[in-house]
């Protein structure tokens, strides 16, 4: 598929060329490409009935499933801006994303993992003047009684909108229009809004699909969440481009995943290293039929060489690849190539994608030679235009020549393969999810017993890294670790919650009063 089109045009073309190919297989719901287009257009009509048109934001706060794909494609058809929301967010966190994006419609669920997302949003008590409609898939009685519209009611409302009106709006959408806004946090503790155009997303993941070897007819179990680029763009969008079948997985359960691999003859299974470790370590693996597996793509954490070897020998993957990217680079900047040996796949993140430049610079921004460490910078069509409504942060991140400063420290070898050695920023990765200390600290400091707090990442055998919080208690208080963990779990996504809280008399500071986080990291690692 050419990248010089919109995502709505991609859907039209796929439905025209492969109308009877299965596009999505989600339990009892199996949709051909033509049926997927039909449902997406019906959803688009519902959006128009709610006043949504080109440039209006539509939030999606739901687990992996066919409704997520249908809602996103319906919005993309109109040129509306898709705003994915982390399913682990609490109400206040989701409300912040909706407020910043000025979303007019929210598509959500009630009852996923026992949580009522609409109720959490109401309980957050945040005024959302732009939000006019909440569409709840499979709503419970409590959500219906409080005014959320059911999926069927929403679609019924769209029946009064002519298909010609949808076509008219769709015709105004261009490849350079913003297709989605993904939220990523930074060292300020405030999530930043990162836009990506239709053209950027389609070109990056057309190239990604070609390089990893994604094929028409592949059966792709998408475990990575759709709110993340890995599940959304490297997941169902890449599959739609080549004609692979998407098998959404709402949550990771190792036994369920093994059963689905066997029953649905899954061929493609990307995910973080923890996914493959869970499969390899499960006592039932030897009896499971995993013979259909062909392609794995991983990253987001250190990948042991032995893991890559065992993925090939014990899990049967013919191809195992790793890559590197940021939300600001439309999710991908480098990628290993088919045929790379296990050591290259495990110890590097591959080389630059076509049309993308990757370099290493010193603190003054001067290029460094192969083998020298420095900050990783990226330039190319995949780099965002800039953070939404944040010119200062954009200027700090992208220089006048178009180079994006990633905040990661790395080395390029003579082949142009990138090895990430450290993080200039404090971000750490918990089971594939980015966790940002400043954001976590901003929540924790609200606890009545916390006077000061600093959060760092520490190695963890299962999750790669976990958070460790060093806390200075307020005078007259004596917070306990179980109390702080429970309090934090009520206020932030679980992957953000520090796994350890250490009460200290004071935080280590340098001469200017800045917390010495390197010292805290050393202490956290020593006390594993």
In this structure, what token pair is assigned to residue 106? 């929210």
Q: What is the pLDDT of residues 69-119, one digit of tens each?
A: 999 999 999 999 999 999 988 999 999 999 999 999 999 998 887 788 999
Q: What is the pLDDT of residues 353-392, one digit of tens each?
A: 999 999 999 989 999 999 998 999 999 999 999 999 999 9
Q: What is the pLDDT of residues 113-153, one digit of tens each?
A: 778 899 999 998 888 999 999 999 875 544 444 458 999 99
* Spacing of C-alpha 432 from chain mean position: 9
3-state secondary structure 195-232: EEEHHHHHHHHHHHHHHHCCCCCCEEEECCCCCCHHHH
Last residue of one domain, picked from the residues 423, 440, 473: 423
Q: Are residues 516 and 403 in the same domain?
A: no
User: In what helix (H) or strand (E) does residue 261 lie, and over which residues does it extend?
Assistant: helix 254-264
The count of C-alpha atoms lying within 13 angstroms of the C-alpha of 265, restricted to the half-sphere facing its C-beta, is 4
If pLDDT is split at 50, 70 and 90, which confidence band does 516 have? confident
Q: What is the pLDDT of residues 200-215, one digit of tens each?
A: 999 999 999 999 999 9
What is residue 2's predicted lDDT score, i.e. its pLDDT? 46
Mean pLDDT, residues 438-442 taken together: 83
CATH code, domain with 395: 3.40.50.12780
Q: How many residues does the chain have?
A: 528
Q: Is the dihedral of CA 342, 344, 346, 351 positive or negative?
A: negative
- Where do we find the tokens 């499971």? 288
Last residue of one domain, picked from the residues 377, 401, 423: 423
User: In what helix (H) or strand (E) does residue 306 lie, and over which residues does it extend?
Assistant: helix 305-313
CATH code, domain with 453: 3.30.300.30
What is residue 510's predicted lDDT score, i.e. its pLDDT? 66
- Answer yes or no: are the C-beta atoms of 173 and 78 closer than 8 Å: yes
User: In terms of residue numbers, what domain contains 301?
Assistant: 252-423
> Using CA atoms, how far apart are residues 322 and 298, in angstroms rounded to an integer?
5
Q: Are strands 133-137 and 245-248 parallel, antiparallel or unpaired?
A: unpaired
Q: Are residues 267 and 386 in the same domain?
A: yes
The percent of residues in the chain predicted with pLDDT above 90, rounded, is 75
- By three-state DSSP, how is residue 441 classified? helix
Domain count, the chain: 3
Last residue of one domain, picked from the residues 423, 451, 475: 423
Q: What is the pLDDT of residues 457-509, one digit of tens each?
A: 999 888 889 999 999 998 899 999 999 999 999 999 999 999 999 999 988 97
> Using CA atoms, how far apart are residues 481 and 469, in angstroms rounded to an integer?
10
Q: Name the residue among 495, 56, 486 with its Cα closest to residue 300.
A: 495
**Looking at the domain assignment, is residue 222 inside a domain?**
no
């Amino acid at each position: 598929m050419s990248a010089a089109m919109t995502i709505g045009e991609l859907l039209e073309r796929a439905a025209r060329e492969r109308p009877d190919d299965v596009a999505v297989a989600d339990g009892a719901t199996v949709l051909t490409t033509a049926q997927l287009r039909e449902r997406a257009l019906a959803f688009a009509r519902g959006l128009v009935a709610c006043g949504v048109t080109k440039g209006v934001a539509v939030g999606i706060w739901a687990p992996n499933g066919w409704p997520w794909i249908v809602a996103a494609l319906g919005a993309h058809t109109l040129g509306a801006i898709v705003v994915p929301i982390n399913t682990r967010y609490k109400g206040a966190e989701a409300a912040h994303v909706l407020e910043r994006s000025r979303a007019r419609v929210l598509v959500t669920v009630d009852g996923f993992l026992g949580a009522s997302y609409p109720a959490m949003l109401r309980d957050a008590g945040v005024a959302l003047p732009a939000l006019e409609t909440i569409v709840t898939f499979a709503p419970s009685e409590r959500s219906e009684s409080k005014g959320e519209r059911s999926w069927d009611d929403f679609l019924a409302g769209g029946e009064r909108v002519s298909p010609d009106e949808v076509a008219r709006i769709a015709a105004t959408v261009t490849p350079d229009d913003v297709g989605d806004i993904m939220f990523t946090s930074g060292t300020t503790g405030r999530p930043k809004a990162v836009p990506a155009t239709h053209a950027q997303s389609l070109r990056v993941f057309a190239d990604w699909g070609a390089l990893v070897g994604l094929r028409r007819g592949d059966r792709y179990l998408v475990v990575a969440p759709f709110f993340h680029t890995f599940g959304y763009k490297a997941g169902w969008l890449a599959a739609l481009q080549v004609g692979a079948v998407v098998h959404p997985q709402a949550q990771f359960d190792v036994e369920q995943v093994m059963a689905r691999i066997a029953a649905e003859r899954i061929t493609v299974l990307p995910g973080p290293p923890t996914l493959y470790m869970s499969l390899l370590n499960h006592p039932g693996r030897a009896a499971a039929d995993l013979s259909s597996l062909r392609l794995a793509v991983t990253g987001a954490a250190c990948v042991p060489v032995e893991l890559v070897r065992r993925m090939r020998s014990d899990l049967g993957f013919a191809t195992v690849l790793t890559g590197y990217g940021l939300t600001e680079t439309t999710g991908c900047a480098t990628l290993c190539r088919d045929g790379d040996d296990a050591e290259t796949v495990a110890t590097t993140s591959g080389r630059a994608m076509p049309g993308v430049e990757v370099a290493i610079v010193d603190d003054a921004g001067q290029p460094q030679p192969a083998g020298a460490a420095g900050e990783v910078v990226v330039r190319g069509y995949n780099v965002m235009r800039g953070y939404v409504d944040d010119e200062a942060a954009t200027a700090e991140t992208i220089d006048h020549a178009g180079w994006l400063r990633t905040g990661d420290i790395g080395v390029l070898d003579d082949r142009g393969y990138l090895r990430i050695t450290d993080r200039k920023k404090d971000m750490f990765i918990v089971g594939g999810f980015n966790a940002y200390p400043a954001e976590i600290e901003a929540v924790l400091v609200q606890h009545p017993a916390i006077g000061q707090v600093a959060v760092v990442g520490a190695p963890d055998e299962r999750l790669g890294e976990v958070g460790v919080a060093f806390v200075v208690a307020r005078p007259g208080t004596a917070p306990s670790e179980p109390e702080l963990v429970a309090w934090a779990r009520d206020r932030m996504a679980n992957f953000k919650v520090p796994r350890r809280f250490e009460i200290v008399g004071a935080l280590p500071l340098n001469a200017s009063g800045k917390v010495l986080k390197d010292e805290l990291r050393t202490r956290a690692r020593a006390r594993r």
